[in-house]
Structure 1
């Protein structure tokens, strides 16, 4: 049974580059520990992309950010000294913990032009880990378990599913799956995770008697059947896991405590959070 269907809310963040916000949603703030879910693009950039399109240095607390691309390349730099491009099928997993800052630059697109398409997600840290040391981890595509059956190609981006375990380090039980389905192919979301959702990036699937097209996320009731059938070639992202409790979100800060968010805001406003190495000449002010 489908609990709720959420349609992405598209907005242009500049230069024709659109982002589709799915989570948080007014009637569904989280799915398992996933507290934020955006589709970036798809977009095609001409060479000479203005620097104003880049995501300038900004802060996070209390979460892990997950960047996963289908097309293109993004350069990541952060305040723990990481500098890492991410390409399709790879994972950039950044642990904010007690505080980190980072930037995301479209340097390859600026030089050469090209496409960009991917998913940006945030995973709330359990309360016991919200103040953990910040860190950054990059995983090549070959480090992620892949599987295939008739009409189905899948990759386990993070967590556990179907007896597989991703190399990506997480702080709570979860799953993050990338599926590509041929017409008529069937898949089912992992039954051993309490909260589960699927997002249709491209194509269409049928689930629970409902048709789900591109840009829609279906959240399934705990324990309910969560079988999907592709009605055309489809690209899906499935997420879920164990709930970690209520979280407050303000700007780029996530916490179980409103007071902690106020402290993070004050720290950023006062310049007490270190900027990324090699990228400390500009930053995004507190809104």
Structure 2
């Protein structure tokens, strides 16, 4: 049997009390794909009435985060004062830069009725020249994202440049990130525009250059080579990649940086509550090595 033309990453599965998260990046030997340093598949989950997502305020440095939903809704709040729900197909792009704090929760109306939650959350490491830029937040509705229609394949460009289109989010490096839906027996050629590329199969049955590719796994593709994805059933995929980042990155908890000193400083700043505050939020997540959080920021 021929060896596959890609490296397969298996998911690291965590059960968060009825809410499953599958982590694909970072992994070994592929800590990153282009500037992508973190990739989580959230759910699918079904919350009962009165239940929902509650990620308390927590900090980030040195990265940009993006949440992309298939189902459900999440309310984003941050230390810049942003308050923005994200719905399926929209993009919430948050640049942490030198430091930002945010929370992610189910909105009150969704919590009352309960319902599904399913999506992808990724982190993009910032180049060294932009690691300490001012934090920023952008929301881009689904209707503003480039749509690429091919025979049997619908793609939505979430960020970066690919397939002759550029998405509106403010990126700091050469990259692309797209969501795709494939009809049964459809084919998609992934161009060799970037030296590092990967495919994540959310669901469905797919082959890459004739090799079967299991769902909820990531295929890291060889550089400078076009590959063809063939869907045997209806399938949902995520495409990502870019140029390699400018040097190694350290990742500790929610912090990403090109130096250990920057990580140490961020830890001390969060411990001393020198990051900003999320308006109307009093809870916060302590550092992993802290025994207990104070009751509030004040």
Assess same fold via TM > 0.5. yes
SS at match of 1:260: helix
CA distance in 1, matches of 2:258, 2:85: 31
Query: For this pair of structures, how many residues does the alignment match?
Result: 283
Q: TM-score scaled by structure 2?
A: 0.92
Aligned-residue offset at 1:258: 0.8
Whether the aligned pair in 1 keeps the contact of 2:191 and 2:226 (CA below 8 Å) is: no
1:267 corresponds to which residue? 269
Whether the aligned pair in 2 keeps the contact of 1:2 and 1:218 (CA below 8 Å) is: no
Aligned-residue offset at 1:209: 3.5
2:90 corresponds to which residue? 90
Matches within 5 A, 1:16-165: 16-49=18-51, 53-107=53-107, 108-165=109-166
Whether the aligned pair in 2 keeps the contact of 1:68 and 1:89 (CA below 8 Å) is: yes
Q: Deviations over 1:199-253 (max 9, x none)?
A: 0001021113321121110001111232111111100000000111211100000
Q: Deviations over 1:162-184 (max 9, x none)?
A: 11111111111111111100111
1:179 corresponds to which residue? 180
Q: TM-score scaled by structure 1?
A: 0.96
SS at match of 1:2: coil
CA distance in 2, matches of 1:212, 1:181: 14
Question: Please, which runs of 5 or more residues in structure 2 have no aligned partner?
Answer: 289-298
Q: Deviations over 1:63-112 (max 9, x none)?
A: 00010000000000000110000000000000000000000001243122
Structure 1 stretches of at least 4 aligned residues deviating more than 3 Å after TM superposition: none
CA distance in 1, matches of 2:87, 2:240: 21
Question: Which shows bigger deviation, 105-114 or 17-26?
Answer: 105-114
CA RMSD of aligned residues (A): 1.1
1:257 corresponds to which residue? 259
